[in-house]
């Protein structure tokens, strides 16, 4: 059993905007590319060119179809990675201390030198956010790119997780949830950011911004409403070409 810090100085995490995510997988692939080349062991792929390719990923995009009762079916793309929970069951279940949550910033990490590959943490995580590396036999998970955000060699603007830096539609945001003025706290307040599965009691740090309501079949507008000044007025009784005369008169 490994203990959790009672509080953490910062609570670093992600806000993921489901209203903006187009499901392009950019975050997942750049994450794998960065983290496979990081100080930790690679994120391996087995049967890479064969019948059943699989590999370790720290972030995956899931796609759901939702069919509201009164609107057309819609698709929601749902990127999922470790949520860096305050009450992280993957930490408390770890028999070696490899899985731990940092007191300074709340990031949940795995010390691969101590990981025995027992897989208990993956069983304990209700989100399925941990993956056993098929070659290295150690547990892999999102690090919030801890080797980027504290890097002294990267430019200041690049000290953010790879997934956030690469996201083409700016659907991913990184910051400190303990700071009410941070970009992530402001977004969550403005857009009603939600916890994932709060009933599990894990107190996840990451938040998701829900899709905004879609346009439904709105009532038919009044076709006789006055048209805008810039484009002249409603046609007169003599029809479109009559309207045209009036419009041209206004142009002078």
Quote the least distance from Cβ 75 to other proteins, whole Å.
4
Site for other proteins in 149-208 (CB under 8 A): 150-154, 157, 162, 165-171
Of residues 88 and 167, the one with the C-beta less far from other proteins:
167
216 three-class SS? coil
- φ and ψ at residue 246, rounded to 5 degrees: -65, -40
Selected binder of other proteins within 3, 7, 9, 46 (CB under 8 A): 46
Q: Residue 229 is inside which H or E element, if any?
A: none
For residue 162, what are the β-bridge partners?
A: none
Cα–Cα distance for residue pair 140/99, rounded to 1 Å: 10
Selected binder of other proteins within 8, 13, 34, 208 (CB under 8 A): 34
Of residues 168 and 199, the one with the C-beta less far from other proteins:
168
Q: Residue 102 is inside which H or E element, if any?
A: none
137 contacts other proteins (rule: CB under 8 A): no
User: For 90-170, where are the E strands, in sequence order?
Assistant: 99-101, 108-110, 131-132, 139-140
- Residue 47 gets which letter from DSSP? S
Selected binder of other proteins within 92, 127, 131, 147 (CB under 8 A): 147
Question: Cβ(18)–Cβ(79) under 8 Å?
Answer: no
37 contacts other proteins (rule: CB under 8 A): yes
The β-bridge relationship of strands 207-209 and 12-17 is: parallel
73 contacts other proteins (rule: CB under 8 A): yes
Site for other proteins in 100-129 (CB under 8 A): 109-113
The stretch among 27-35, 85-93, 121-129, 196-204 that binds other proteins (CB under 8 A) is 27-35
Of residues 8 and 143, the one with the C-beta less far from other proteins:
143
48 contacts other proteins (rule: CB under 8 A): yes
């Amino acid at each position: 059993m490994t203990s959790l810090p009672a509080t953490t100085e910062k609570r670093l995490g992600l806000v993921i905007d489901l209203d903006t995510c187009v499901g392009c997988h950019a975050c997942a692939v750049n994450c794998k590319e960065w983290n496979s080349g990081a100080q930790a062991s690679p994120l391996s792929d087995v049967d890479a060119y064969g019948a059943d390719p699989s590999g370790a990923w720290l972030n995956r995009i899931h796609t759901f179809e939702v069919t509201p009762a009164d609107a057309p079916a819609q698709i929601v793309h749902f990127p999922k990675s470790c949520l860096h929970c305050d009450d992280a069951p993957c930490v408390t279940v770890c028999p070696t201390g490899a899985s731990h949550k940092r007191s300074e910033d709340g990031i949940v990490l795995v010390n691969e030198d101590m990981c025995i590959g027992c897989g208990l943490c993956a069983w304990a995580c209700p989100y399925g956010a941990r993956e056993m590396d098929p070659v290295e036999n150690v547990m892999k998970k999102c690090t919030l790119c801890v080797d980027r955000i504290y890097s002294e060699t990267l430019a200041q603007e690049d000290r953010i997780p790879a997934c956030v830096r690469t996201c083409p539609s700016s659907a991913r945001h990184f910051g400190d949830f303990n700071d009410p003025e941070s970009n992530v706290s402001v977004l969550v307040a403005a857009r009603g950011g939600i916890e994932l599965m709060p009933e599990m009691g894990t107190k996840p740090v990451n938040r998701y911004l829900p899709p905004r309501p879609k346009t439904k079949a709105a009532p038919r507008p009044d076709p006789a409403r006055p048209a805008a000044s810039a484009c002249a007025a409603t046609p007169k009784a003599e029809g479109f070409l009559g309207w045209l005369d009036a419009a041209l008169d206004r142009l002078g």
